[in-house]
Amino acid sequence: MALTAAGEERAFAKLIARHGDRIARLARRMLGPAGDVDDVVQESFLRLWSQAPSWRPGGARLSTWLYRVASNLCIDRLRRPRQAPLSQIVEPPSPAPRPDQDHAARRAARQVERALQGLAPRQRMAIVLCHFEELTNIEASEVMGLSVDALESLLARGRRALRQELAEESAWLIAALRDGGMDASREVGNG
């Protein structure tokens, strides 16, 4: 960070390489495949570049700070009214499973992803940070600017909503995710 603060572009490029994929995953999970993922990543790192001179070592971890910036940008985008009428929205092509992947696991991962997109933004953010980005509750609460108790409340409500949404197909979904693992779910979120 000190080199980035001094205007060293190589140091900044290393920070992007180290943290860019995580920020993109977070944005993709929050905004969905048609969201402004690239814009969130770019804006997050622009803010890092502009804030680098005032960075104080010993404060918040850089990854926590970046997650917080990206989280706020995602929530801002989710709160904006949609500009394009539904008649103009192009439906994305259905991703065909690759031969080396288990079809049921991919189907289950898509179902989980759809259910995740139906959550309230702050519940979705809590679930994404803790379950997909594997942050601890303490780290996720710092990212979201909440107490740990408030984060755990969001997690509980989000999990309950996901359970209700996925209840009808829970038997095959659980079996498919168990057999195919969360890797298939991560891939759908990254794809």
- The string of pLDDT tens digits covering residues 64-110 is 889 999 999 998 888 876 665 555 556 666 565 555 456 667 777 78
Length of the chain as a residue count: 191
Place 186 in a pLDDT band, splitting at 50, 70 and 90: very low
Q: Are residues 61 and 108 in the same domain?
A: no
Q: Are residues 184 and 109 in the same domain?
A: yes
- Residue 170, pLDDT > 80, answer no
- In this structure, what CATH number is given to the domain that contains residue 45? 1.10.1740.10
Confidence (pLDDT) at 122? 93
**Domain membership of residue 28 as a residue range:** 2-79
Q: Are 101 and 184 in contact (CB under 8 A)?
A: yes
In one-letter notation, the amino acid at residue 117 is Q
CB atoms within 10 A of CB 113: 17
Q: Are residues 68 and 124 in the same domain?
A: no
Terminus-to-terminus CA distance in the chain, angstroms? 31
Q: What is the pLDDT of residues 31-69, one digit of tens each?
A: 887 778 899 999 999 999 988 888 777 777 888 889 999
CA angle 155-180-152, nearest 5°? 5
Q: Are residues 102 and 186 in the same domain?
A: yes
User: What is the count of structural domains for the chain?
Assistant: 2
- In this structure, what CATH number is given to the domain that contains residue 168? 1.10.10.10
